[in-house]
Amino acid sequence: MNPARLNNYWQAAGWLGVGLIFYLSLTPIPPQVGIENGDKLGHLAAYSLTTLWFAQLYTGLRQRIWLALGMVALGIAMEYAQRATGYRSFEVADMVADALGVAIGWLAAPPRLPNLLAWMENRLRH
């Protein structure tokens, strides 16, 4: 089931996630994770959750391929944007973490896991 009734809200929430990726990627003082290379876990989580979110809205194979390519491109673009800021650093390892996150989000997407957005929409109806 495709979560259609609240599609505009689901889309808006997903784009807020993308906006959060922009903000966290370009803010001068990003939040710190208290473990070594913890930022890589942040990259992995952000890109896997955002990919998973949109994969529940775009269920066709072609749509998901474009989604994955777009998310990987976003990760690459954010690293180059960080380099241009002068206060953030460019790291290939961050791009790898982003791409791995995209792959995890893809693999976790329906039909392997339930469509949580459709489930929430169904629960809201009753």
Q: What is the mean pLDDT of residues 96-109?
A: 97
Question: Which two structure tokens, joined as six digits, stand for 18?
Answer: 């993308």
Residue 91, by phi and psi: left (phi above 0), alpha (psi -120 to 50) or beta? beta
Q: What is the mean pLDDT of residues 38-53?
A: 95
Q: How far apart are CA 39 and CA 42, in angstroms?
A: 5
pLDDT bin (cut points 50, 70, 90) of residue 106 is very high
- At 37 the pLDDT is 84
Residue 1 has pLDDT above 50, yes or no: no
Q: What percent of the chain has pLDDT over 70?
A: 96
Residues 15-27 have pLDDT tens digits of 999 999 999 999 9
